[in-house]
Amino acid sequence: MALAREESSPLFAGTVAGTLRLIVYLALAMVLMVLDHRNGWIWRLRYTTSVLVEPIYRLASLPATGMRAASVAFSDRKMLTEQNQRLREDLLLANAKLNRMAAVAEQNQRLKELLDTQHSLELNVQLARVIDVDLGAYSHRMMLNVGARDGVKSGQVVIDAHGVIGQVVQVMPRTSLVMLVTDPEHAIPVVVERTGLRTIAYGSRDGDLLSLPNISMAADVHPGDKLLTSGLGGRFPPGFPVGEIRSVEPAASGMFLEGRARPMADLDRSEDVLLLHDLAEPVGPPEPVAPAGPPADLAPPASPSSSATPPRDAAPPASTAATPPVQP
């Protein structure tokens, strides 16, 4: 065992030659250390060696570096994708809010025009909202969100800030139906603003136009003339804009001129409209009031003949309501 150890470690052998070799090696090491400290040879050797060994290190670390770069790129892509999605959602939300604000601003502008119309003309009007529009081939109707409980009556005129829309034809408890001026069954007395010519404007099945079929051949009517309500018939108050003449051509019979007019009101765009009331008529649902009969001592005796056809100078019969008649 000792021989094997001496053969494997000749530097530490107990012989004189081994001791001399150890001393020489130590002296050489000390000389190299001094020279390296003074001249830096070992550092230069290490620097030169690192230039040769560094590519090997880089090649060995390439898989780990690639995996790290791929992980960072994936995480960055995922983060950018999520950020892009959030920005898209914020942009859509901002656009929706902007569109809503534009719609609200437009609605406020229309309401302001309606209020300006009311104040400028000092009208007794009632504001209503359009909840449905039917612009079919045979019927042009509009449904409003006010009805009999709100004081709406059949025959009331409906206008907007630009002109006449139509008139109420059917009243329900909380809604009412309006026949538009373009309805084929509608007719409205009008007057040409420039010349004062009176005629009647009918609705037509030609979309959103009014028809004036009974214009005299000698009448002074030209495209661009304004049509106003004439007030004839007592249904439509005078002076409200109705339409504007678009064309005037000879009728098929050759005896009259036939005009086409575009309504002034925004029939297909109005969201809020005004219902005209009489100046002395209050706006709102009517309050039921029990009729007051004549005094009991002045009331004529009831008889079958008088109840059927009372005399011309006789007072009306006393009320049968639960409320007693008002005494003088």
The answer to whether position 288 is within a domain reads: no
Residues 136 and 271 in one domain: yes
Residues 15 and 156 in one domain: no
Using DSSP, state whether 183 is helix, strand or coil: coil
Q: Is 240:181 a contact under the CB 8 Å cutoff?
A: no
DSSP state of 95: H
Residues 17 and 144 in one domain: no
Residues 231 and 132 in one domain: yes
Residues 147 and 258 in one domain: yes
Judge if pTM exceeds 0.75: no
The answer to whether position 100 is within a domain reads: no
Q: Is 190:219 a contact under the CB 8 Å cutoff?
A: no
Domain boundary among the residues 258, 276, 294 is at 276
Number of domains in the chain: 2
The H or E element that residue 42 is part of is helix 41-121
Using DSSP, state whether 59 is helix, strand or coil: helix
Token pair recorded at residue 258: 């036939």
Closest to 155 measured CA to CA, from 176, 134, 182, 128: 176
d(CA 70, CA 80): 15
d(CA 133, CA 221): 32
Domain boundary among the residues 253, 276, 299 is at 276
Note the pLDDT of residue 98.
76
Note the pLDDT of residue 153.
93
Parent domain of 228: 125-276
> What is the CATH number for 214?
2.40.10.350
Q: What is the pLDDT along the chain (328 residues), one digit of tens a residue?
A: 444 554 555 555 567 787 888 888 898 888 878 877 777 677 777 778 877 777 887 788 888 888 888 887 877 888 888 888 888 888 877 877 777 677 677 767 766 766 666 565 567 888 899 999 988 878 899 999 999 999 999 999 999 888 999 999 999 999 999 999 999 999 999 999 999 999 999 998 776 889 999 899 989 999 999 999 998 988 898 889 999 999 999 988 888 999 999 999 988 888 889 898 864 444 445 444 344 444 444 344 444 333 334 433 333 443 333 333 333 3
Name the residue type at position 233. Answer: G
The answer to whether position 308 is within a domain reads: no
- From residue 22, alpha-carbon distances to 17, 27, 28, 31, 197 in Å are 9, 9, 10, 14, 138
- How far is C-alpha 56 from the chain's CA centre? 68
Note the pLDDT of residue 125.
82
Place of tokens 């006789």: 314
Token pair recorded at residue 326: 């008002």
Residues 153 and 270 in one domain: yes
The answer to whether position 131 is within a domain reads: yes
The answer to whether position 96 is within a domain reads: no
DSSP state of 12: G
Note the pLDDT of residue 228.
94
Name the residue type at position 24. Answer: V
Closest to 188 measured CA to CA, from 242, 261, 138, 246: 242
The answer to whether position 27 is within a domain reads: yes
d(CA 165, CA 178): 9
The answer to whether position 231 is within a domain reads: yes
The answer to whether position 157 is within a domain reads: yes
